[in-house]
Amino acid sequence: MDAVLLENKWENKWGLSPIFMKQAIIALVLIGIGSWLAHLHVVSQLYYPVVQLSSPEGLTYTAVQDSTQERQACGAANERFLGPVKDRCKQCQVVLARCERRLEGLELALYDGAPLPHHRVFAPGLRMAIVGPPESAKTTCEYIAGDMVKRGLRSAACVYPSTKR
């Protein structure tokens, strides 16, 4: 009978031993810390709104906007960009509209302002490359930059093609 009393003394009302309870508490604390760290990781991620369009004139437009910290804000930025474009260019085709975690190639060079062999539009929060026949690209680049300023943007510039030196 003493052995039974000693055994019951070390169990709680659910029949769990103190060692199991300690392990369960440690596991819950570790899960909580892991969840908190995962949340911090997601919050600290950047998303780059990237859109690519093609026109019937043979021009391809690649636009990279300023990064956002939320996936939903990135998608909303792409939608805000595409709305007016779709209204003004009914024949233009959306090649892609996505939120990139990491930029590469043309998109990275465009975002960084690196020299490119394409006409580019730079405006607050937006960088756009226009690829295609040089004269059409130049005319379109100048028109887009001028139109942005006419519509109230404080500045926009058409930057002509350049090469690395």
User: Where do the structural domains in the chain lie, given as residue ranges?
Assistant: 2-43, 48-159
Residue % of the chain over a pLDDT of 90: 64
Model confidence band, residue 163 (pLDDT cutoffs 50, 70, 90) = low
DSSP label at residue 15: S
- What mean pLDDT do residues 49-76 have? 96
Q: In what order do the strands lie in the sheet with 48-54?
A: 93-100, 48-54, 60-65, 126-131, 119-123, 157-159
Model confidence band, residue 1 (pLDDT cutoffs 50, 70, 90) = very low
| Beta strands 60-65; 48-54: pairing state | antiparallel
DSSP label at residue 128: E
